[in-house]
Structure 1
């Protein structure tokens, strides 16, 4: 990672950790070791957007996740928590970025317009981690685990619909993340898989098999066995870089053989319940 990358990673982490607060430009300048005269221009050049737009994008991302996945939170409360003085002001800006009102998005989220506007941040996160080999890989024995699964089959940008449905099922069956571990089984690389062929499971651990249900939730098992494990702290935006590292550099260097089971994630802590830079995801690559 270059010196500038490290500086602006600190800036982004600070913004993510303080979205509820008035963000002080002086503090951001100090984190980037730049004077005000240069900070705004350098931020725009390096990140691809101005610092004001960066803050707005990160707040809107959190607001969108709250709308889509935290149905108990009122739209006005979400607006106020993300720095907007009124429902009207929030709705106006939200519709500009998502092409839907907050209420429309909550009912039927369309992430496509947002992805286009968020692309500079996504690319920056990937660039920051690209080529990084400083990952702490541990080999651990994972116990056989029964899981209840929502099978998402289709375009990656529609995973949110499956997540919403799965969250509703968990609530109805009293299986919150606090008492039931959360997993994703990742069968395909979205970068090389046709959208209609993409497979991704959203799951949680259960003590006993679940009965047939109207949600389409099915029983599966994560088998016992050895795994190469990396604990990732931070946004999902860069998680693909770790997956790529495990499949290429780590496997090549260790000579390990893969087991016949897909790579999977355990979601230890979630955005938007915690800031993005505090998210914890354990990545498991099954090996012999």
Structure 2
């Protein structure tokens, strides 16, 4: 007698396989933003039918392939402009896959409501406004995902369980060290949606059980937010829950394999309430980085921690490293 998995298990496995294939496409697009994207080649990357791929992509992502690629190119360009490196706008346009400065300027203004030059010029003012909001608590209720509950009724916290708001929980004080980190092979599961309490739930409900089933509980973990929520719409933000794995590890159907690149990073040790880590990220990128003589490069930022020890059950505090890839100005 053949044992057939229950229907819900088959559905979960099917969705996981779709997610793995789509993640390969999203990663491929990010790695080739400066080049024309060929629909047939992307279908092959995903191992989907070339004839149906565009429709499958649009249904899965909620936007067409062309719209997605255009948005990612513009968001990447916006982040580069805001760094203040003085890189020529035309160079950023070409590196983002636009054939001319004029085409880039038109698309940028349509997306962000201003010219690339104005966006760059206004970057310090936007940063100052964010810091002012942190210090005044003015953005305390700006996040629709904020959990409203009495302190003694609060649910347990999990890694990454911060709501992304700018409510200030004390002044940010962290020591930052510049260090070289090795590349790390990781298995990851990806969530697309707001950076908020859903991230903690994703670790608890999806990643942690998968790690336990593969005897990975003691391995270093990494939370990779691929998008800047001040640029990318919350429902489009991508987050990877990652765990370090050996070279011969096979992830099975529910996870994918990637490599976090090594190199020079600014590493800051964070310890505090999970709600405050968003403020720490903002302080590092908006206040520390501009005065450090360094600039962020195109490698992903991430949080590094151990699942078994990152949460203090007595205080509810989270401990981990915030890692920002840097190079000299």
- Which TM-score band applies after superposition, normalised by the shorter structure? 0.5 to 0.7
Cα-Cα RMSD: 3.2
Q: 2:210 pairs with 140, 148, 169, which one?
A: 169
- Does the Cα contact within 8 Å between 1:186 and 1:199 map onto a contact in 2? yes
Distance 1:252 1:207, change over 3 A: same
1:222 pairs with 240, 247, 260, which one?
A: 260
How far is 1:199 from its partner? 0.7
Indicate if the aligned counterparts of 2:187 and 2:251 stay in contact, CA closer than 8 A.
no
Secondary structure, counterpart of 1:213 in structure 2 = coil
> Structure 1 residues 160, 247: closer, same or farther in 2, change over 3 A?
closer
Inter-partner Cα distance in structure 2 for 1:261 and 1:238: 24
Q: Is the 8 A contact 2:172 2:279 kept in 1?
A: no
Aligned to 1:3: none
Mapped to 1, the partners of 2:313 and 2:247 lie a distance apart of 28
Residue 286 to residue 243, structure 1, CA distance change in 2 (3 Å): same
State the Cα distance separating 1:154 from its structure 2 match. Answer: 2.1
- Does the alignment pair 1:57 with 2:150? yes
Query: How far apart are residue 192 of structure 1 and its match?
Result: 4.5
CA distance in 2, matches of 1:133, 1:276: 18
Q: Secondary structure of 1:285's match?
A: strand
Deviation of the 1:172 alpha carbon: 0.9
- 1:243 to 1:161, Cα distance in 2 relative to 1, 3 A: closer
Q: Alpha carbons of 1:271 and 1:61: their partners in 2 closer, same or farther (altered >3 Å)?
A: farther
Count of residues in correspondence between the two structures: 176
Which of 170, 176, 182 matches 1:137? 176
Say if 1:209 and 1:219, in contact at 8 Å, map to a contact too. no
Distance 2:169 2:194 in 1: 26
Query: Residues of 1 paired with 2:283 and 2:201: CA distance?
Result: 29
Secondary structure at the counterpart of residue 126 of structure 1: coil
Residue 243 of structure 2 is aligned to residue 150 of structure 1: no
Distance of aligned partners of 1:267 and 1:212 in 2 relative to their CA distance in 1, 3 Å threshold: closer
Question: Taking structure 2 as the reference length, what is the TM-score of the superposition?
Answer: 0.47
Distance 1:280-1:272 versus aligned 2 partners, 3 A rule: closer
Q: Normalising by the residue count of structure 1, what TM-score does the alignment of the two structures yield?
A: 0.53
Per-residue deviation, residues 229-250 of structure 1 (Å, max 9, x unmatched): 1111111201111111221222
Q: Structure 2: which 5+ runs fail to align?
A: 1-139, 141-148
